[in-house]
Amino acid sequence: MTRIPFTKMHGCGNDYIYVDAHLHPIADPVAAAIAWSDRHKGIGSDGLVLIDRSPVPEADFSMRIFNADGSEAMMCGNASRCIGKYLYEKTHPWPLPVKEGNGYQETEIRLLTLSGIKILYLHIVDGIVESVTVDMGAPVFEDESLFNPTIGKSLSTPLHYREGQGGGSALFVSMGNPHYVIFTDDVDQVGETGRALEVHPAFPQRCNIEFARIEADGSIRTRVWERGSGITQACGTGACATAVAAALTGRAGRKSSIVMDGGTLSIEWCETDNHVYMTGPATFVFDGEIAWDN
């Protein structure tokens, strides 16, 4: 039995357990994620995130994410922001260059994920990371390994798939992981409908399901059923997918405020490079140690 140091953090309420896997490797992260994520018998979280040095020179650090059910996620926007804050505020001395100007500092981190390398831009004031912008890359609308459009057309009304631009009520968007964004006044159907759609045959690797409503002030109220975790307070990739779907169907412009259960994320789908940029906070909750038969 060993004692594993960990840090619990959240991004807009999307909470994970973070472990420096370089110093404290976890032999069975699937079992650890299931046990530690239990909100009654464990630490309590949406999953486990392992931070490590990058095995390739193109990135500075790497992350692996295991959902509360033990399944491994390809990418998590909220977790990537938290990693930026964790690395900057807990790594001494800081190994990467820092830019200064206009009363704040900024640094960049190249983070290796299962969906590729993501660039984190840390916005630092007085040595504290106040927010993080993540270059989430370009959205993808056709990926039959994640979404089968033929089966998708059979989804019952109003949860149907509409190809191309227009006013369709639902749209598949991949942000390195699969999302199905449904525009509806009833965002509170997230539990019952989200649970069913996650495992719909249209999604060969299961799917994250977003329920989005355009508000009078132009913001987009969104609730999320996350693949492998259920209802969560927020989902960074889900916020990006929602903003892209809203812009693509003419419901919003290329900049959106996505209001989730745990907070608000600012999303920009940039015309010049087709990349989606997500900006939001990251918050420490507490540090601890857990006894684990590793």
User: Which SS3 state, helix, strand or coil, does residue 89 take?
Assistant: helix
Strand spans (E) along 114-150: 116-125, 128-135
Known catalytic residue: 235? yes
CA pair distance 65, 79, nearest whole angstrom: 8
Among residues 12, 207, 235, 240, the one annotated as catalytic is 235
Among residues 12, 76, 82, 207, the one annotated as catalytic is 76
**12: phi > 0 → left, psi -120 to 50 → alpha, else beta; which?**
left
User: Which SS3 state, helix, strand or coil, does residue 147 take?
Assistant: coil
Length of the chain: 294
Known catalytic residue: 12? no
Q: Is residue 92 packed enough to be buried (19+ CB in 10 Å), middle (13-18) or exposed (0-12)?
A: exposed
The owner of tokens 């693509």 is 248
Distance set, CA 202 to CA 11, 139, 146 (Å)? 30, 19, 8
CA pair distance 232, 230, nearest whole angstrom: 6
CA pair distance 84, 107, nearest whole angstrom: 10
- Sequence letter at residue 42: G
Residues annotated as catalytic (active site), given as ranges: 76, 235
